[in-house]
Copies of this chain bind each other. A is one copy, B any other.
């Protein structure tokens, strides 16, 4: 299998990975969830080449994860905002953050804290079952073809 064939496999991981399974794409998405919208800000934060950033942003716009909107007329300048489809990646990014916090934080602890506005508390993400509401671990899940 070639990398660009991943999207055609009948597997939801493969299809998602074809869109977001790239190092810099995930870093761009992290920044989007932190409120970054402008090309120059992505560049300043990531410190990578403009062509890599442009390529990743273009791909995310084509896939409907980000939308490109003008925020200035003369000269025209655009910013990149998460669509609903992009916002739906929040559990993916939060799960990645949490795994990093647990397994790769240094002595100072997690670099960022997340507060749940609805309850006012700092929190970590917990994956729960849509049917019973209880937390779910890997060993409790049985997978079958649909």
A89 to B127, CA, bound (A): 11
Residues of B within 8 A of A12 (CB): 96-101, 104-105, 110-112
A102: B residues at CB distance < 8 A: 88
Q: 0/1 per residue, A4-30, Cβ < 8 Å to B?
A: 001100111111111111110011001
Q: Which 10 A-B pairs have the closest CB atoms?
A: A12-B100, A121-B131, A119-B132, A16-B100, A15-B104, A90-B138, A1-B47, A91-B127, A91-B95, A13-B30
Q: Among B85, B124, B140, point to the contact of A103 (Cβ < 8 A).
A: B85
DSSP class of A's interface residues: helix, strand, loop or mixed? mixed
Contact in complex: A123, B136 (CB < 8 Å)? yes
Contact of A90 among B6, B127, B129 (CB under 8 A): B127
Q: Please tell me if the beta carbons of B22 and A143 are within 8 angstroms of each other in the complex.
A: no
Residues of A108-122 contacting chain B, CB below 8 A: 108-119, 121-122
A28 to chain B, nearest CB (A): 11
Residues A144 and B113 in contact in the complex (CB < 8 Å), given A47-B1, A119-B134, A125-B91: yes
A99 and B141 form a contact (CB under 8 A): no
